[in-house]
Amino acid sequence: MKHKLILFVSGLFICSCSGFNSNNQLNTDTSASRGHLIYSNDLSNAITAFIPSVVEVFCLMEYDVEHYFYNLSSGKHIADESSPTHYQLKSENGIFYDKKNFRAYGGGMIIGATDTEYLILTSRHIVNHADTLINYIKEEGKNTDVPRMRAFLKRIRFAARGQRLSVVKTARVLAGDARADLALISVNRRGNIGKVFKGGVIQNMENVWGSLAVIAGYPSEILQVAMGLTSAAPYPGNFSLDINGTFGYSGGPVFLFDATGGLSFAGIGRSIPGKRVFHVAPDSTLQFATKLLPADIGRLQVEEVPVFGAARMYAVDMRFITRFLTEAMPDLRKKGFVLSKGFENLLD
């Protein structure tokens, strides 16, 4: 375990979060029949019905990392056009080479298929990552143009798996929308990763306030379900849920109670409001409760971790999902992909 010293907090950020019915109308009725479902076996049955369509989506990344150490003159960095950073590096050990592995994960839902592949709807930020990452030296709290570190993507792998965690399928990214934070990926159907979602799909969400919603995802890479009330979100094409959101719900499907009292698909989990905390932590060579000596300074590193805000997360609504699928499906249909009935009706 790392011994962590909290230094400071900066800036708001957004992390980068059925009873199957053919009826697609959102029920705005607030009668007791809706409450009865909440406390009956019907809710459990409704959730159990859509669970086989929920999968974990993850991305494995390997980066080659360069850390830079500079010569200074009167405390200032020295310009040097011959340097890879455009500033003069130390003649010895000016660049320290390292490798870092990262794993991004979240949920997804199988919404269509070909004869050989499943089509999965998920969040784009799970499967889209920069080829180069640059961290700049700060002065007076602001970034300079002097790189402290650069990371170059060496290898990336996309995969998905269902409730049978041992069955991992390599995935292909087929389409993405940066604004909506949506993506479509495909995996081979062999191995029983899951089933195509056959339930209802809500056409629109006219009243965003106070609907009871259920979300499924993979916090800590474990399939989980949470429930809460919906509210408006400060971002176009999104609504919010009052649940204890955490990493892993991103990409997971959101369901609302429909006119028949069952659950119909209504959105995709997207993000969690929170802040970032920077802290100093020893590397893996130092044990917990070790007394630090001056010689250990080189074994300390500044890390950044998220601190989540109040119980709240955001989801992409049907307007953005409909637009995304409308744009993506013409090309995918040429490859043989067919959406489930609820989603096909959405595009008619």
Q: Is 341 helix (H, G, I), strand (E, B) or coil?
A: helix
> What percentage of the chain has pLDDT greater than the value 90?
60
Residue 239 near residue 205, CB atoms below 8 Å = yes
Residue 38: other Cβ atoms inside 10 A: 11
Over residues 91-113, the pLDDT tens digits come to 989 999 999 999 999 999 999 99
Between 219 and 246, name the one with better pLDDT. 219
For residue 130, give both structure tokens.
């920069």
How would CATH label the architecture of 5-347? Beta Barrel (2.40)
Between 48 and 285, name the one with better pLDDT. 48
Alpha carbon distances (Å) from 216 to 112, 122, 241? 18, 12, 12
Domain boundaries of the chain, sorted by first residue: 5-347
Rounded CA gap, 125 and 183, in Å?
Answer: 8
pLDDT at 174 over 80: yes
Rounded CA gap, 77 and 72, in Å?
Answer: 5
Rounded CA gap, 60 and 78, in Å?
Answer: 37
Alpha carbon distances (Å) from 145 to 33, 96, 313? 61, 19, 34
Average pLDDT over residues 210-220: 92
DSSP state of 310: S
Helix then strand count (H, E) for the chain reads 5, 19
Average pLDDT, the chain: 83
Residue 133 near residue 150, CB atoms below 8 Å = yes
E-strand spans in 162-272?
Answer: 168-177, 182-188, 212-217, 224-232, 238-241, 253-257, 263-271
Half-sphere exposure of 133 (CA within 13 A, CB side): 17
Average pLDDT over residues 202-227: 88
What pLDDT is stored for residue 26 in this prediction? 40
* Residue at 327: amino acid letter: E
Over residues 18-60, the pLDDT tens digits come to 333 434 444 433 222 343 455 568 888 899 999 999 999 999 9
Query: Which stretch of DSSP H or E encloses residue 187?
Result: strand 182-188
What pLDDT is stored for residue 261 in this prediction? 74
pLDDT at 167 over 70: yes
